[in-house]
Amino acid sequence: MKDLKYLLEFENLLEDADNALVRQAQEEGRYAIGYTCYHMPEVLLNVDNCFSTRIRAPRSSSIDIATYYMSNYTCEYARSLLERAIEGGYEFLDAIAGVDACSAMNRCYEHIEILKCNSKPHFFVTHTDVPYKIEEYTVDQVETQMRLRLLDVMHDRLGTDTSDEALLAAVKEHNELCDVMTQIGDFRKLENPPITGYEFHVLCLVSYCCPTSLILPKLKETLEEIRTRRPDEKPWFRARVVVAGSEIDDLDFSRLLEESGALIAADRYCYGSFPGRERIELHEGESILRQICRHYMQTSECARYMSQEKITQRRTTIDRLAREYHADGIIFEQMKYCDFWAFERPLASHILQDEYGWPVLSIDRSYNVRGSGQLRTRFQAFVEALEIKRIQKRRSAGKAAGTEVT
């Protein structure tokens, strides 16, 4: 297929957290608020004079200093962020909006504050609590936290307009971005998609890491480009997979998987589009902030939610996406030392295979996979198994219909 017009530019934007569009927005007088977790409503960080940037640590290598502070049994993602912060990589941020979702990330936030990794006089780190299940009283709790510990702080420290009108404007822009990303992602349902999973991963990441107002026009243009893009006559992939699990912002993971012959048909992982790129539907009769909070709580697929209905929701979501995007199998991944997904992955992988009937590859991985030979071997073996299974299924169907299948 012909290369996408903006793909190289998007890849370059993802080479550094302090990318060209972030700098452009700050030059226009806007404030950059970093965040890491879906529990922090992205749309609330894009109100008035602020914009969100989901924090990454691309091209991480040694994390020895962060390991000294956090130990080598904590999530490599959290340690990589702290290492980058100590190196001065997040000096550009005006604030960090954190949530008490996991102990490793809490320790990362705390060390960024304690070690004074950002010298801006107005810089702040704020923490909001996250419940373990969804009830009306927990929605009350999240709404109160987001008002007192986020919006009010943004107003006091950055002069941000946090009125209902400002929230409505942010939701409108957010929904426009979500509509574009959803339409692009839907092309992956086609038998021979005009976009690869790697390319969609790039587009999805820039939609999180760049100011919405600046990246949206380029994503709209990319959508129109994909509409008329002609894929190769013969599909390049040998199997279609859903990737599910914990945080993936490493493009090498997607590159390695698709080089092994698998099309990433759907991305149900942190920093993916499920959840993250669904419209926020608002209605009369309830505060806008409360509706925003409820939306993120209801759509969240985080393993921190431990109520039975949320556990079931996570499995049924993966099953639904696998069917909707015509997947042959599921790859369930977890970053090493991620406490919540370390509990979720083994059991969910077993149930998705035994009760839902999906072939499942269950893996744990490093934050940056680079050219992992072991992971490549496992991907290739899984793709080959899926391909053989599909061929056998076609032959069985052909025999039943009385026709020869080659």
pLDDT score at 286: 95
For the cut 70, the answer to whether the pLDDT of residue 122 exceeds it is yes
Q: Pick from 248, 206, 251: which is nearest to 341 by CA?
A: 248
Q: Given pLDDT bands bounded at 50, 70 and 90, which one contains residue 232?
A: very high
252-266 pLDDT, tens per residue?
999 999 999 999 999
pLDDT score at 391: 85
Task: Determine the average pLDDT of the residues in 245-249.
Answer: 96
Least confident of 67-71, 365-369, 389-393: 389-393
CA 5 → CA 220, 222, 384, distances in Å?
12, 7, 33
179-225 pLDDT, tens per residue?
999 999 999 999 999 999 999 999 999 999 999 999 999 999 999 99
Pairing status of strand 329-335 against strand 360-365: parallel
pLDDT score at 314: 97
| In the chain, % of residues over pLDDT 90 | 90
Q: With contact defined as beta carbons under 8 Å apart, do 104 and 74 qualify?
A: yes
pLDDT score at 41: 98
* Distance separating the N- and C-terminal Cα atoms of the chain: 27
pLDDT score at 404: 58
Q: Which secondary structure element, helix H or strand E, spans residue 347, and what is its range?
A: helix 339-354
For the cut 60, the answer to whether the pLDDT of residue 353 exceeds it is yes
348 φ, ψ to 5°? -65, -40
Least confident of 50-64, 118-132, 385-399: 385-399
> Helical H runs in 210-268?
212-227, 251-259
Q: Given pLDDT bands bounded at 50, 70 and 90, which one contains residue 405?
A: low
Q: Pick from 401, 76, 58, 46: which is nearest to 251 by CA?
A: 58
71 φ, ψ to 5°? 80, 160
pLDDT score at 37: 95
C-alpha torsion angle, residues 14, 207, 336, 78 (rounded to 10): 70
Average per-residue pLDDT for the chain: 95
Structural domains for the chain: 234-401 (3.40.50.11900)
Burial of 49 (0-12, 13-18, 19+ CB in 10 A): middle
Q: With contact defined as beta carbons under 8 Å apart, do 340 and 302 qualify?
A: yes
pTM equals 0.96
Task: Determine the Cα–Cα distance for residues 76 and 70; give it in Å rounded to an integer.
Answer: 10
Least confident of 98-102, 109-113, 248-252, 367-371: 367-371
Task: Determine the average pLDDT of the residues in 140-158.
Answer: 97
Task: Determine the average pLDDT of the residues in 312-330.
Answer: 98
Q: With contact defined as beta carbons under 8 Å apart, do 36 and 85 qualify?
A: no
Catalogue the long-range contacts made by 62-66 (C-beta closer than 8 Å, 24 or more residues apart). Answer: 66/108, 66/111
- Residue bearing tokens 């007088």: 29
What is the secondary structure of 289-318 as a DSSP string?
HHHHHHHHHHH---TT--SHHHHHHHHHHH
pLDDT score at 60: 87
| In the chain, % of residues over pLDDT 70 | 99
The rounded radius of gyration (Å) of the Cα atoms in the chain is: 21
Task: Determine the average pLDDT of the residues in 243-255.
Answer: 96
pLDDT score at 372: 80
**Paired residues of 361 in beta bridges:** 331
Task: Determine the average pLDDT of the residues in 293-309.
Answer: 95
| pLDDT top residue among 354 and 100 | 354
Helix and strand counts by DSSP (H, E) for the chain: 15, 8
| pLDDT top residue among 60 and 186 | 186
For the cut 80, the answer to whether the pLDDT of residue 402 exceeds it is no
Strands (DSSP E) found in 109-190: 124-128
Task: Determine the Cα–Cα distance for residues 225 and 230; give it in Å rounded to an integer.
Answer: 10
CA 286 → CA 126, 138, 143, 237, 293, distances in Å?
26, 16, 12, 47, 12
Q: Given pLDDT bands bounded at 50, 70 and 90, which one contains residue 406?
A: low
